[in-house]
Amino acid sequence: MQRFEPTPEQLAVIEHRGSHALVFAGPGTGKTETLARRFAALVVDEGVDPGDILVLTFSRRSAQQMLERIVLRLRERTGEELAVSELFVRTFHSFCARLLDGDGPRFRERNLLTPIKERLLWKRIAGRVPLRSFDPEVRESPAFAADALNLIAQLKGQGLTPSDVESAARRDGRMTDIAALYRELDAERTRLGLSDFRDLVKDALDALELPDSPASSWLRARAGFRHILVDEFQDSDALQLRLLEILVGPTRDQRSPVPEICFVGDFNQSIYRFRGATPSNIETVRTTFACDELKLSLNRRSAQAILDVANATPGLKPESLTRAEDESRPGSVALFRAPMPDDEITLVCDEIERRIRAGTPPNEIAVLLRVSEPYQSLIVGQLDARGIPVAARPSAGFLEDPVIAAVLGAIRLTDDLDDFDRWTRLLTNPLIGFRAVTVRFAFDAARRAHVENAFVALRANPPTGRVSFEEFLRHWRAVEAAARDKDADAASLVATIAREFDLLWPVRESAAAPPGWDARSSPSRLGSLVDAARDMQAMAFALRDGRIPPAQFADGIDEIAGLLSDPTETPPADSGGVRVMSIHAAKGLEFDEVIVPQAVDGVLPQRARGHALLSDASLRALHAKAPSFVASPDEAYQEECSLWYVALTRARTRVTVTAAEADADDIELPLSPFARGIVEGALKERATTSHADRGFGEPAAPLGEEVQARRPVTHVLGRLSPTGVGTFLTCPRRFFYKEVLRLEADSDEEGTLLGRLLHRALAAFHEEHRTFGPLDDLEAHRRRWRDTLYELSDSSASAVAAEMGLAADSGFMRYQRALARQYFDDYVGLLARESQEAPFTVLSCEQRLETVIDGVSIAGRADRIDRLADGTLAIRDYKSGRLYGRLANAVRESLTELDGGGQVAGNAPEGLNLQLLLYIPGAQELYGAPVTQVEFIYFRGKADGEGLLTDNVRIVETPEGSDPNGFLTRADVDRVQRELAAGVAAACADGRLTAFATALDPGTCRFCGYVQTCPGPRTVAS
């Protein structure tokens, strides 16, 4: 631990006696150290019994850090060890629990209302309380549950009872409903003897009002405390302040009070109003307690260059501002703007890579976000792709973690032993480790032999993997026995599965850890799953629902998975990678390097938004009862200022601020007012500066390679996608916007989302289901295909929603899921038909293929490549849109146009989707067989309600058949490549195009995402 002499300011706090003290302590001023030394000084210099000093914090992490520091300083001063149990270094909540125990048995098991129990209780009561203003669909949604429970927690933190809310409601139906739910939840909680953290404080206050309560008796017997030290006081709420007032009693505004309270806080770092924190408590204490005011202003963390910028944040209280202890220490703040959000993500990752190459350890770099998604996923994804380690993200991907997937998969299988698809998923789980090809072989062989028993199938052709199948089977039998045990609960079954299958083996063999395993998160996720099982079972018993069958537990876990970790949770201290997290989660941490993306007005500061459940009038009515309840617009803005200040002051040496210039819709993004003083594109370095010199707004000398040049616009492209070729032919101007300028189109979010969902689910589906040939038990297969697709559709929907920053449980997403299921019903029908009439085997999905034409690489991914019964190939493409024109017809029309001396670019007939024809050379080379079919599968058909429609084109040597839409000759395909694609490729390769023509036919613009940008059809000629 770093050893340093206390500053005069710290000494003043350590040695202050005789009255309450209010200490304004800014970031990096060593308040934990100062409080620990004050504690030691009270014990050693004043002879105060350590048990007579109460230290209160707001998080277990802070309490633990404080405890460790106090024990260290006491040991230094006394040379003796002190039993930790003698010390009262606690969170407010654990101290209140101790108070409530009184002289009764200590550390008794407390029936805590965990988030999972609370959610289950909510489900029970929300269904039975009659509500006037929320319709049944809303009240059943997880989003409503989360908003309402959060609101009730805040009301509780302000000491507002259901009756208070009811009386404030007057004729407001929503507030009346909330009051009714609050009352019922509280009554049920009390009936079941459950308490949450806020109840502990409220119950302790109620107990202290009664002179004969165990809490009052215990406090009297020990004559209270002589000193109380409160850390991070700005995070306290109304009830916590009330507790301190009761503990100090009538000596609140007197000299020589008992106990003496030392409040340490920083109004400028108050960022937890959403959890009910009441920073005005600092002002309240200032006026109602007789406090001496002290300050800690010497910052040992941040360079002065950073503090110059941070201290200029609007609305900061001057009492807590800090200055660098060593003002000559170099530091910098830089602002970079990127054209679009995608460029900003790249810019952030480039900066991280550069700093790591320059020697900064990854865990000394933090990216701090005001709004986590989608930036967090995008940055983490890009860092992963670059091989840069990222600190564990406990809240990400819970259900996708292989440990969780293996446990839930095994539980579900105990309920249906002959589900081949579930067996496949379990056996090929990376932690179970059987080779996918051997598992598939076993089940394919079983299907051909009409064997339905999974064990018979697997025994006949045992798959190979980490362990022998016989050994796996021995462990499986133990799992089955545990699942059949009528007395066993889900928690013990989870533990049995983890033990029998040795799911934590990568902990021992870290070098061989499989994909998806996260050394820091996976084991704790397993622990969370066990806790969740215990909580669910405890609630089921309390509500007299009896034992939860394991399969019911597995089904119920989907809904509560989001509660199993806190998205604002900080990665563990020993995490070795770059931290990408919210500003809220970074409170209390420090790094060499901090990057603050999204510095645009509307994100940081965030735009004021209405309350999710209550009207402004309702909020005002509640405000009248509890002035600290819900921030006023000014207070909300002040909190945004604090978030900026907290983000900057996490850095020791360097801050990089980034902002996109325009959003995905090409709408200009104004720079955050907080960042306007930072010189753009250059670093503000300072070797020496005075505190008074706040000139970060003046131009600074550019620092060579530190300055990021804007990307030049170019239309010389060495690479094209097949869809890019199609876009060029449809409208060169659209191509220019999309492929050259890379402008984000006005998105058809529904189409994009559904397309991604369909592609993801179908790729996963065909990983398992590859062979489609004549089947006797067709109906059974249809059912199985449909069940798997439904399952994959739901999981894909959740994943895509997360990627696109959408709420998975919104009405929009529910509609998308329902639509996908409808499409998959049709798709199952198509598979069944083709199994009988045109058998095929899926060779690959999302296969990357590349063809080089005139020096330009045309590369993309084919949705599906199949081998047909005659050994030739078919390339298929899924379309979530409608069919507007047939491919064969469009190709012929285009070739005729060329033959007549006309042009196709900007004049392409509908249906000229060339990508499948451009994939042909790559697919033939990859699989060594000719492509004889290309097919588009249009899930929406041609018209409403028509259902799935295919545009199947055979590739033949000479014209055949009576339907001209049914075939193209190889000569046609060659001309498509030589004349159409090569023309686009040549134009892109030599950059000779200076003007990109607009489309000739206004109908082409019907679904164009650049209508707002473009001068319109027929306005620019080639």
For binding to ligand SF4 (CB under 6 A), which residues are involved? 731, 733-734, 998-999, 1004-1005, 1008, 1010-1011, 1014, 1017
Smallest distance, ligand SF4 to C-beta of residue 662, A: 18
Residue 686 CA to residue 306 CA, distance in Å, equals 10
Nearest to 803 by CA among 390, 376, 187: 376
Q: How far is the CB of 1022 from ligand SF4 (least distance, A)?
A: 12
Q: Which residue has the tokens 């549950």?
A: 145
Q: Which 8-state DSSP code applies to residue 2?
A: -
CA distance 573 to 64: 13
Q: Decide whether 798 or 907 has the Cβ nearer to ligand SF4.
A: 907
The CB-of-890 to ligand SF4 minimum distance in angstroms stands at 16
Strands 651-660 and 719-720: unpaired
CA angle, residues 425, 430, 434, in degrees to nearest 5: 70
Rounded least distance, CB 745 to ligand SF4, Å: 9
Alpha-carbon gap, residue 610 to 459, rounded angstroms: 61
Cis status, amide bond into 339, omega within 30 of 0: no
* Min dist. Cβ of residue 910 to ligand SF4 (A): 12
Q: Which is nearer to ligand SF4, 285 or 1005 (CB)?
A: 1005
Question: How large is the angle between the packed helices 811-837 and 749-768, nearest 10 degrees?
Answer: 40
To the nearest whole angstrom, how small is the minimum distance from the Cβ of residue 333 to ligand SF4? 41
Q: Residue 622 has which token pair?
A: 């509640």
- CB 739 to ligand SF4: min, Å: 12
Nearest Cα residue to 994 out of 724, 666, 716, 712: 716
User: Residue 182 to residues 121, 122, 129, 133, 187: CA-CA distances in angstroms?
Assistant: 12, 10, 10, 15, 9
CB of 720 vs ligand SF4, minimal distance in Å: 18
318 versus 1003: smaller Cβ distance to ligand SF4: 1003
Residue 1008, Ramachandran bin (φ over 0: left; ψ between -120 and 50: alpha; else beta): beta
What the block records as the tokens of 539 is: 């609630």
d(CA 576, CA 520): 10
Q: What are phi and psi of 143, to 5 degrees?
A: -65, -40
Shortest Cβ 665–ligand SF4 spacing (Å)? 15
> Shortest distance, CB of residue 1004 to ligand SF4, whole angstroms?
5
Residues 6+ apart with CB under 8 A from 227: 42, 48, 52, 53, 54, 259, 260, 261, 262
Closest distance between ligand SF4 and the C-beta of residue 893, in Å?
Answer: 18
The CA distances from residue 25 to 307, 319, 586, in Å, are: 15, 8, 18
- The single-letter code of the amino acid at 620 is R
Contact 9, 323 (CB under 8 A): no
Closest distance between ligand SF4 and the C-beta of residue 747, in Å?
14
Token digits for 735? 């191509």
Burial of 481 (0-12, 13-18, 19+ CB in 10 A): exposed
Q: Which is nearer to ligand SF4, 282 or 999 (CB)?
A: 999
CB of 999 to ligand SF4, least distance (A): 4
Least CB distance from residue 879 to ligand SF4, whole Å? 19
Instruction: Please confirm whether the linkage preceding 259 is cis (ω < 30° from 0).
Output: yes
Please tell me the distance from the alpha carbon of residue 538 to that of residue 185, in angstroms, as a whole number: 17
Closer residue to ligand SF4, CB minimum distance, 52 or 1001: 1001
Beta partners for residue 291, in sequence order: 20
Shortest separation between residue 1019's beta carbon and ligand SF4, angstroms? 8
Residue 787 CB partners (closer than 8 Å, separation 6+)? 421
Contact yes or no for 167/183 (Cβ under 8 A): no
State how far the alpha carbon of 195 is from the alpha carbons of 96, 107, 114, 180, in Å: 12, 15, 9, 19
Cα–Cα nearest to 696, from 676, 716, 722, 712:
676
